[in-house]
Amino acid sequence: MAENHTKRWRLVLIASPLQGHMTPVLQLATYLHSKGFSITIAHPELNPPDYSNHPDFIFLPLPDNLSSQGKFTSFIQFLQALNDACKPHLREHLVQIINKQKGMRGKESIVIVHDNLMVFGGYVAGDLGLPSIIMHTSSAAFFPAYKIIPQLHQEGRFPVHDSMMQEIVPELNPFRYKDLPFINFPIQEALVSASMITPQTPPSAFIWNTLEFLEPSALTMTRKQHQVPIFTIGPLHKLVLTPSTSYLEEDASCISWLDKQEPKSVIYVSLGSVANLDVKTATEMAWGLAKSGQPFLWVVRPGSIHGFEWIEFLEEGLAIEMKMRGLVVKWAPQKQVLAHNAVGGFWSHCGWNSTMESVSEGVPMLCQPFGVDQLLNARYLSYVWKIGIEIVVERREIEGAIRRLLVDKEMRQRALEIQENVKLAFNHGGSSHNSLNRLVDFILSF
């Protein structure tokens, strides 16, 4: 433990402004602070965390210059602009700290921990001779899967020909070509995305918000390719309790609604913080839910259905059908929802946080991945762990899939076994428990 050491360590965690990335970074920071480390959270001005929830941290807003740049045509353009704008401000801040400490006794050791999208953190650390750790908030499988894209491109295997889509990528077994990250991006954008988030110089270590037993092959492969420590410390939400890290207000009324439902009867639907839908898809989802005969809780983020503010797209008859069995909210306390006894299934876009939160509660899933890492996660759920069903978004298909999910006893049993193993990982001697101890020792070694 670092408490009461005469030497001090300051961890500068660089967070990205996306919900699915900010939450695990704040969770990790909370844990590391409990181990006696001083914490600075450096973050772009866009989507700042709520400082009042973390009075023990220092927050460093990095001017991101985004408002002056007009509309971005792609996510990678946005990410590049964010990285370019934030980099000099982080550097300046760190140089100031380093200069201030020159000649001081009891100076702090600075260690950078940066989100894998905030690549500037690694470059600045390298320039200043500071150790840097890359924090991955996605699966371990995502890393080799995006790193291999330039090679697949050179060999004529990416973009993927239609006839190859269902084939397994030999280097990434059991993932198929159709599961590859950026598969639905224009080719140049896919290549730039993959190379931008591939570290150009090796970091001091990697952290993954995952579990050893869930991803043995991907972790073995990465350990063979990278001779630096790899810490698998997930699922972080089970390690530390943090105040809500949601950007949107959580509607707690859904918990009292869940209290009135039968055990394992409710299908919970949420497509995360980024995915948007066209009205046709949203309408099929609504009909599928209404006709399934099961109670449902559906999160529809305001503005996530193209052309509508919220759920005005529901025609009157459908709205009435939906009200009879379901509840629609703008944002839910998802971890609490998934832990509720009334929830029997989770219809998800398979973001990694949602996946981790669902497996931690033994809740089987309907998989509607949109892209990036979600296709790999859906493959894990449906094919490897066998606790998920991939769906086609068409009302009759959905109706059937919801029923199958809720009655499939074997799938539920497997989900419960995984839940048990997640619990064991944090027990004394468990994989995440050990990895966290090694991470703390590793930081103390600087």
Residues at the contact surface with ligand UDX, assessed by CB under 6 A? 18-21, 23, 137-138, 246, 270, 272-274, 299, 331-332, 334-335, 351-354, 357, 372-374
CA torsion 45-48-51-54 (nearest 10°) is: -120
Residue among 228 and 274 whose Cβ is closer to ligand UDX: 274
Q: Kindly state the smallest distance separating residue 275's Cβ from ligand UDX, in Å.
A: 6
User: Closest CB to ligand UDX among 27 and 204?
Assistant: 27
Provide the angle, in degrees to the nearest 10, between the axes of the packed helices 395-407 and 279-292. Answer: 50
Answer yes or no: are the C-beta atoms of 331 and 246 closer than 8 Å: yes
Look at residues 266, 409, 407 and name the one whose alpha carbon lies nearest to residue 325.
Answer: 266
- Reading phi first (left if > 0) and then psi (alpha if -120 to 50, else beta), residue 109 is in beta
Structure tokens at 219: 């972790």
> What is the DSSP code (8-state) at residue 380?
I
Listed in sequence order, the DSSP H helices in 249-315 are: 253-259, 279-292
Q: At residue 409, what is the residue type?
A: K
Cβ closest to ligand UDX, residue 202 vs residue 371: 371
Least CB distance from residue 215 to ligand UDX, whole Å? 13
* Closer residue to ligand UDX (CB): 37 or 182: 182
C-beta of 252 vs 407, nearer to ligand UDX: 252
Q: DSSP string of 301-319?
A: -TT-BTT-SSSTTS-HHHH
DSSP E strand stretches across 302-419: 326-329, 343-348, 365-367, 388-390
Shortest Å distance, C-beta 135 to ligand UDX: 12
Q: Which is nearer to ligand UDX, 64 or 357 (CB)?
A: 357
Supply the minimum distance, in Å, between the C-beta of residue 124 and ligand UDX: 23
Smallest gap from residue 349 Cβ to ligand UDX (A): 6
> Smallest gap, in angstroms, from Cβ of residue 394 to ligand UDX?
23
Q: How far is the CB of 44 from ligand UDX (least distance, A)?
A: 15
CB of 397 to ligand UDX, least distance (A): 23
Closer of 274 and 424 to ligand UDX (Cβ): 274
Least distance from C-beta 244 to ligand UDX, angstroms? 8
Alpha carbons 52 and 72: distance in angstroms, whole number: 31
- Spatial separation of the C-alpha atoms in residues 91 and 401, rounded to whole Å: 51
Nearer to ligand UDX, 282 or 299 (CB): 299
Q: Which is nearer to ligand UDX, 297 or 418 (CB)?
A: 297
Pairing state between β 296-299 and 108-115: unpaired
- Per the CB < 8 A criterion, the answer to whether 348 and 270 are in contact is yes
Q: Which is nearer to ligand UDX, 235 or 295 (CB)?
A: 235
State how far Cα 279 lies from the chain centre: 26
Q: Of 313 and 331, which CB lies nearer to ligand UDX in the complex structure?
A: 331
Task: In angstroms, give the least distance from the CB of 337 to ligand UDX.
Answer: 8
- DSSP-derived letter for residue 295 is -
Smallest gap, in angstroms, from Cβ of residue 276 to ligand UDX?
11
Torsion angle defined by CA atoms of residues 134, 140, 143 and 144, in that order, rounded to the nearest 10 degrees: 140
Cβ atoms 51, 87 nearer than 8 A: no
The number of angstroms, rounded, from the C-alpha of 257 to the middle of its chain's C-alpha atoms is: 27
Counting DSSP H helices and E strands in the chain, the numbers are 17, 13
Whole-angstrom Cα distance, residue 120 to residue 123? 5
